[in-house]
Amino acid sequence: MKIKMILPALTEAESPFWRPIKYSLFPPLGLATLAAYLSPDDDINLVDQHVEELNLNDSPDLVIIQIYITNAYRSYKIADFYKQQGAYVLLGGIHVTSLPDEASQHADSIFLGPGEDTFPQFLKDFRNKQPKKIYSSAIRTLHNIPPVRRDLIKRSRYLVPNSIVVTRGCPHHCNFCYKDSFFNGAKSFYTQIVDDALAEIERLPGRHLYFLDDHLLGDVKFAGDLFEGMKGMNRVFQGAATVDSVLRGNLIEKAAEAGLRSLFVGFETFSPANLKQSNKKQNLEQDYIKAVNRLHSLGIMINGSFVFGLDDDNKDVFKRTVDWGVQNSITTSTYHVLTPYPGTGLYKEMESQGRILTRNWDLYDTRNVVYQTTGMTADELKNGYNWAYKEFYNWTNIFKSSINHKSHKHKLKHFIYTGGWKKFESVWNVLIKTKNLNNMLPLLETILTKVNSPGKHQQQ
């Protein structure tokens, strides 16, 4: 059977503000995971439109498309084309789960929620010529899933080919978070068997890993056992976690000992009212600076996540957020315009209040304002968001932020990492076009080497 698996490019990836490197970081791991359930005799073509051209001059029997909100319209066009050619078309992903009625108009079958239990059932039904229109995930487990089909991934086209996911979902339920709609209806956070996760890590070449889990530290026992098993592997890795998990117990020290060198942290907002509005209870009454200092004392760089446009925000939120990031040596900052994704509590709340201004999904990219704001106008929010990125990443602030570290090595590491990520676009573009991006991995691994910072917590 000829099978084509497609991740269509996000709309923002083709905008004038497109940073090609941002969309050349991680391979389509979700599709490669589903591919593991296919037969070894199947002819599988996995295409990521962010890093390669999509050839439509073929005749697959089965087409599988993964849909996010800002590639939805492009995905539907591709799906409609292949349906007209006689292929059987499957659609899945967060957007499909959030808006199944919309997606089903363009598919023979749709998948709601994770596919580890539903995709094998579909394959069985398809071979028996009795496929269903809708497959909805109910059994949430990662126990004994087959190894990801990494042989289908074009490693040379990604900066971080060694991306890995060892859990699903998150134990928290922030009302603006898109993942809640995806895991609705059954267990919303679960983990692999530790030995299976370690075996997957062992199969990956090189030293560097990037855990794409929503909350790598979300299950204390699992994470502790995982980090214990990783000690001695000589890995360096990056991941994501919450302020609360950084401050609680000694799990972050275990992560650092296992090789954690950079952490995505969802600070989101400094306003208690905004945290309550967002149901982000895990951040309430937390000491952000204490969490930052703890990470820095372990030599861990920080990618801080911040959301602009919550109801308690006003025009001074942009400067306050940038200044705080610079003063506290946040290595990289990711800013977002608040976006009420369909299927979330925030969307339902704003819809009931008549605050949703557009349902053009191309604009739901966390760069555009799609709802009625309070505290500032839509233009003020959009302009402040753009200003924050420009200001945080100017050379003066990169230098100021770097020199605040205690260790000279950490100062240099911060400066190179931040400057390299944002200030050498032409270099990244050449590497992408010549398919040499993967050759930068040794440099990334060098930058992520251990830093022993003076202070209470010493990294071993």
Q: Mean pLDDT throughout 348-365? A: 96
On whether residue 199 sits in a domain, the answer given is: yes
Q: What pLDDT sits at residue 459?
A: 36
The CA distance from 433 to 16, in Å, is: 18
Whether the predicted pLDDT of 396 surpasses 90:
yes
- Verify that 112 and 164 share a domain, yes or no: no
> How far is Cα 147 from Cα 199, in angstroms, rounded to an integer?
9
Indicate whether 299 and 420 sit together in one domain: yes
Among 120-124, 133-137, 196-200, 277-281, the minimum mean pLDDT is found in 277-281
Q: Residue 52 sits in a domain of what CATH number?
A: 3.40.50.280
pLDDT of residue 282: 65
If asked whether residues 198 and 302 sit together in one domain, one would say yes
In a domain, 310, yes or no: yes
**Does residue 43 lie within any of the structural domains?**
yes
Do 185 and 128 belong together in one domain?
A: no
pLDDT tens for residues 115-131?
999 999 999 999 999 99
453 located within any domain: no
DSSP reduced 3-state for 55: coil
Instruction: Work out how many domains the chain is built from and give that number.
Output: 2
What is the structure's pLDDT at 263?
Answer: 97
Residue 301's closest CA among 396, 236, 245?
Answer: 236
User: Which of 80, 105, 136 is the endpoint of a domain?
Assistant: 136
CATH number of the domain where residue 233 is located: 3.20.20.70
Q: Per-residue confidence at 172, pLDDT binned at 50, 70, 90?
A: confident
Inter-helix orientation angle 395-403/317-327, to 10° = 50
Q: Are residues 105 and 167 in the same domain?
A: no
Examine the fold and report which residue of 71, 101, 136 is the final residue of a domain before the chain moves on.
136
Identify whether residues 132 and 163 lie together within a single domain: no
324 Cβ contact list (under 8 Å, min separation 6): 270, 330
Q: State how far the Cα of 86 lies from the Cα of 177, in Å rounded to an integer.
A: 37
Average pLDDT over residues 223-235: 96
- Please report whether residue 24 resides in a domain: yes
Asked if residue 93 belongs to a domain, the reply is: yes
Predicted confidence at residue 424, as pLDDT, reads: 84
Q: Say whether both 266 and 403 belong to one domain.
A: yes
Do 386 and 418 fall into the same domain? Answer: yes
Give the closest residue to 393 by CA, choosing from 424, 368, 369. Answer: 424
Tokens of 456: 């209470």
Other CB atoms within 10 Å distance of the CB of residue 98:
23
Whether 151 is in a domain gets the answer no
Q: Which of 136, 170, 204 is the last residue of a domain?
A: 136
Can you read off the two tokens belonging to residue 285?
């009454």
- C-beta of residue 309 within 8 angstroms of C-beta of residue 368: no
**Identity of the residue numbered 99:** L
Q: What would the pLDDT profile of 13-57 be if each residue is shown by its tens digit?
A: 776 656 778 888 999 999 999 999 999 999 999 999 999 999 999
Residue bearing the bigger pLDDT, 443 or 147: 147
Provide the domain limits for residue 90. 2-136
Asked if the structure places residue 150 within a domain, the reply is: no
Q: Residue 460 pLDDT > 50, yes or no? A: no
Q: Please check whether residues 176 and 50 belong to one and the same domain.
A: no
Indicate the SS3 state at residue 455. Answer: coil
**In this structure, what is the dihedral angle of CA atoms 365, 368, 370, 373, given to the nearest 10 degrees?**
130
Q: Are residues 132 and 68 in the same domain?
A: yes
**Which of 274-287 are b and which e, b meaning 16 or more Cβ less than 10 Å from the residue's Cβ?**
bbebbbbebbeebe
Note whether 164 and 297 are same-domain residues: yes
Q: Does one domain contain both 239 and 349?
A: yes
pTM of the complete model: 0.92
